[in-house]
């Protein structure tokens, strides 16, 4: 759940209340400290598709160096 003020998704739950079929939560944004409330309910529909992330794990220079070093040693 995004913060209504700064749109950050970093927040913490400060209180959870179960009432009838819903779950209510009090949350606090970790970025701007705004307090907001959320309501959670059972959803029977299809979940929206997550945008697929095709990010390859980036190798740091050190990892690259380490990998080539390892290969060099292996083929010696
Ligand atoms: Zn915020």
Give residue-wise pLDDT tens across range 14-24.
999 999 999 99
Report CA(5)–ligand 1 centroid distance (Å): 5
User: How far apart, in whole angstroms, are the C-alpha atoms of residue 24 and residue 16?
Assistant: 6
Each residue of 54-63: pLDDT tens digit? 777 777 777 7
- Residue 76: the pLDDT is 62
Report CA(14)–ligand 1 centroid distance (Å): 15
Report CA(48)–ligand 1 centroid distance (Å): 24
**Residue among 13, 54, 65 at smallest CA distance from 35:** 13
Q: What parts of the chain have a pLDDT lower than 50? A: none
User: How far apart, in whole angstroms, are the C-alpha atoms of residue 30 and residue 27?
Assistant: 9
- Residue 68: the pLDDT is 78
Bridge partners of 38, per DSSP, are: 25
Q: What tokens were used for 54?
A: 């095709």
Number of Cβ within 10 Å of residue 28's Cβ equals 16
- Residue 38: the pLDDT is 97
Report CA(37)–ligand 1 centroid distance (Å): 13
Give the pTM.
Answer: 0.59
Residues 31 and 10 sit within 8 Å (Cβ to Cβ): yes
Report CA(23)–ligand 1 centroid distance (Å): 21
């Amino acid at each position: 759940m995004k913060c209504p003020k700064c749109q950050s998704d970093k927040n913490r739950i400060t209180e959870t209340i179960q009432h009838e079929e819903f779950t209510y939560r009090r949350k606090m944004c970790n970025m701007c400290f705004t307090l907001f409330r959320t309501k959670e309910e059972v959803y029977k529909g299809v979940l929206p598709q997550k945008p697929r992330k095709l990010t390859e794990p980036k190798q740091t220079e050190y990892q690259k160096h380490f990998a080539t070093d390892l290969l060099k040693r292996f083929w010696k």
